[in-house]
Structures are given as structure tokens and as C-alpha cells.
Structure 1
């Protein structure tokens, strides 16, 4: 099974470009299943937008994951009722949404588990007093077949410890939330793929995809960057934070980063492992 994972999509421009690119990305990498973190996909970058989620699903996304912005608006909360949409699982009962999804692709089952760390969730009102440690959420999850984790977190240390703790149990632990892609792509000894931060799919300039002006003014004027109006989504060039991985027998065999199709100088499609012509 070949899975494409796209990190936090920020705003409507990024959503539109990713939606336009997904058919070609699926073709080129022979993708069987697409997972997209869309918690910043709303036009203002805060929460999910119904139009944006529909665009992604219609374009070929199979699973939509979230994080701390999953409850930012009524529209975002309503989208948690969709069968393709999940949010962090490590929460006590009573919080809208669910954190685990089972998908079928290439004749196999893939469980997608969405988790988050305390730092990412500490200011979320919808989850106040209901946050549980990520590993508790992992242990409680109904895991079937291969398992992919979207770990939405700030702390490199926590992400790395978690990945090693589930090495050999999860096919992949893919970090999201900080929006700044990390370089190393790890295949751990037990067969778990690990990326500390896949990175965002959004404007590559500014502050995590947002225009810096209001944040800088707040910092200079009051010492608090968030004291003024919320920043708007940047209009800068769009980057793609995404990886593709090949899962065999519940473990990852190969892992690589992908680029926008129009930026790729080698447009020929890959072949699956074992086929003539090599592998992804």
C-alpha cells in the first residue's frame, strides 16, 4: 500500500492548489490512499472550511486529520461528523469528533490515529480538562491492520520518544503542527517510518503561513504578539509539505518527500517495489 500524507494545509489558496495537484500526485506515486491534515484549511487559516474539505475529498483525499484548530468554528466542529474527518484521539469523552479511522485500500486495512501533545492543545477551550497523554490515546485506539499516526505536536523530544515507543507497532509516525518541515526521514529499526515534522502545505513565507505584520506589531507594542487582530493568511509562494510511504506487512519499506508536480523535473510515474523499474 502506498500512502501520501500532506501536512497542515493553510488557507484556501493552498487547498485549491493541493486539490488540483492530488490527481497527478496519485498517478505519479501510484498512491492508494491520501491523508491530509486540514485543520488550517479555512480561508482565515483557523479551523476547517466546508468548501475546502469538500474540495480535498473530491480531489482524492481519503482521510482528513486535525489538531488544536479542529474546534475553532461551528463550521469546523460540524465537519467532525463526516466519516472521513478525525481529530486528536487522546481526549476524554464529551469532545466533538473521533480520533481513529479505519480505511481500506489496495486490499488492506489502514488505521489512521490522530494524536496531539499537551503544548499544542493547552489553549484549546473545547478540550479544557479533557486532554490525555498521547500514549494513552495510542493504547486505547482500535488498531487494525497497518497503523499510521498523525502526531500533532510542538515538542521534538516527545515526538521522537513516542515514535521509538511504537516502533514495530505503527507503520508510520508523521509529525504535524509546527509547519516547518524537518529534513531527516527516519526508518526506525522495527520498520516504523518517522518524520518529526512533515511541514505545512501553504504559504512558505511569514509566520507558519500567516502574514507577520500584526504579530510583529503586537510584539513591539505590548510584548504580546497576539494582543492585536489575528493575522491573515500570507499571500506568499506556496510550499508542499508531504511525504509518500510504501507500507508492506504493517511496516514501512520506503519513504520520501514529494514536490508539487509542476516543480518536479522528472515527471515519470514511480513503480511499486518489486515491479520493473525500481521503487518509490
Structure 2
């Protein structure tokens, strides 16, 4: 089974960029499953609108994962009604959306699980008082067939420890959230692919795909880069943050980065 995973899609331009190339990429790599983290794909970079979700799914993405921005707008929350749009699993009941999906890929069963670390979720109002540690959620989750994890987190250490902990039980633990692609690609001894951060599919020249002037003004004004809010995604050349995995019997046998 060939799996393509795209890191955080940032803004409208990046969404359209990916949609235009998805079918070509699927065909070229003979991908059986395509997953994309799209929690920043809205025009303002905050959340996923119904248009982005529907367009990505129609364009060739099979599962959309999320993170701390999954509830940033009412439309983002509505997008979570789609069973193929995930948000972090490790929350108690009552938060909109679902954190895992089991689907048939050819003659194989695959479970996609979306998790997040505490740092990524600390300022999410929808998750206030409802956060559950990622490994606890993993142990309680229904996992059928080949398991692929989007681990949306800030901390390199936590990502690495989690991957080692589930080595052999997950086919892949793929880090998202920092938008900065990490160079090393790992296939752990038990057959789990691990990437600290897949990186963003988004515009270059800014800060994590966003314009930087507002952040700089806040930093200079009070030392708080978020004093004046979060700017819109910058317009610029799009970088592709993606990895390809070849998985056999629930274990990764090949892992490479696409650019």
C-alpha cells in the first residue's frame, strides 16, 4: 500500500495548488491512500472551511486531519460534520468532531488517528478542560488494521517518545503543527515510520506561511507577537511538505520525502 501524507496546508493559494496537482501525484506514485492536514487551509489560515474540505476530498484527498485550529470558526466546526474530516482524538466527550476514522483501502483496512500534544492545544477554547494525554487516548482508541497517526505537536521530544512507544503498533507517526519540515526520516525497528514534522504545504517568505508584519509589530510594541492578532497567509511560491510511505502488513518498508 502506498500512502501520501501532506503536511499543514496553509491558505487558499496552497489549497488550490495542491488540488491542481493531486491527481497527477496520485497517478505518478500510484498512491492508494492520501491524507492531508488542512487545519490552516481556510482563506485566513485559521481552520478549514466547508469549501476547502469538500474541494480537497473531491480532488483526491481521502482523509483530512486537523489540530488546534480545527474549531477556529463556525464554518470550521461545520466541516467537522464530514466523517472524513478529523480533529485531535485526545479530548473528552462534548467537543465537536471525531478523532479517528477506519476505512477500506483496496483489500486492506486502515485506521487514521489524529492526536495533539498539550502545548499545541493549550489555547484552544473548545478544548479547555477537556484535554486528554495523547498516549491515554491511543490506548483507549479502536485501532483496526494498519494504523497511521497524525501527531500534531510542538515538542520534538514528545513526538519522538510517542513514536518509540507505539513502534510496531502503528505503521506511521507523522508530526505536524510546526510547519517546518525536519530532515531526518526514520523507520523504527518495529516498522513504524516517523517524521518529527512533515512541514507545511504553503507559501514561503513569511512565518509558518503567514505574513510577518503583524507579528513583528506586536513583538516590537509589547514583546507579544500576537498582540495584534494573526495575519492572513502570505502570497508567495508554494512549498510542498509531504512524505510517501510504502506499507506492507501494517509495517512501513519505505519512507521518502516529496518536494
Sort the TM-score into its range (normalised by shorter chain): over 0.9
What displacement does 1:258 show?
1.2
Q: Which residue of 2 aligns with 1:197?
A: 197
The answer to which of 155-164 and 136-145 deviates more is 136-145
| Higher Cα radius of gyration | 1
Q: Is the 8 A contact 2:204 2:239 kept in 1?
A: yes
Specify the alignment match of 2:101 in structure 1: 101
TM superposition shift of 1:173: 0.2
Q: Partner of 1:263 in structure 2?
A: none
C-alpha distance in 1 between matches for 2:66 and 2:188 = 25
Work out the CA distance in 2 between the residues paired with 1:28 and 1:132. Answer: 39
1:165 matched to 2:165:
yes
TM-score (norm 2): 0.99
Structure 1 residues 139-154: aligned runs within 5 Å: 139-154=139-154
Q: Which residue of the partner structure matches residue 220 of structure 1? A: 220
Q: Deviations over 1:29-65 (max 9, x none)?
A: 1100100101000000000011111111111100010
What pairs with 1:1-280 in structure 2 (closer than 5 Å)? 1-259=1-259
Instruction: Say which SS state the counterpart of residue 41 (structure 2) adopts.
Output: coil
Structure 1 residue 230 displacement after superposition:
2.6
Structure 1 spans left out of the alignment, 5+ residues: 260-280
How far has the Cα of 1:229 moved from its partner?
A: 4.0
How far residue 104 of structure 1 moved from its aligned partner, in angstroms, is: 1.0
Structural RMSD (CA): 0.7
CA deviation vs aligned residue, 1:182-206 (integer Å, no higher than 9, x gap): 0011000000000000001001221
1:83 shift after superposition: 1.2
Contact 2:209–2:234 (CA under 8 A) maintained in structure 1: yes
Give the match's secondary structure for 1:103: strand
Partner Cα separation in structure 1 for residue 45 and residue 59 of structure 2:
20
Distance 1:56 1:257 in 2: 21
Give the drift of 1:168: 0.5
Task: Determine the C-alpha separation between the residues in 1 that align with 2:69 and 2:230.
Answer: 14
Cα separation, 1, equivalents of 2:61 and 2:232 = 26
Find the aligned partners of 1:157 and 1:106 in 2 and give their Cα distance. 35
Give the deviation of 1:97 after TM superposition: 0.6
Structure 2 unmatched runs, 5+: none
Matches of 2:202 and 2:164, distance apart in 1: 29
2:219 aligned counterpart, secondary structure:
helix
Partners of 2:237 and 2:121 lie apart in 1 by: 29
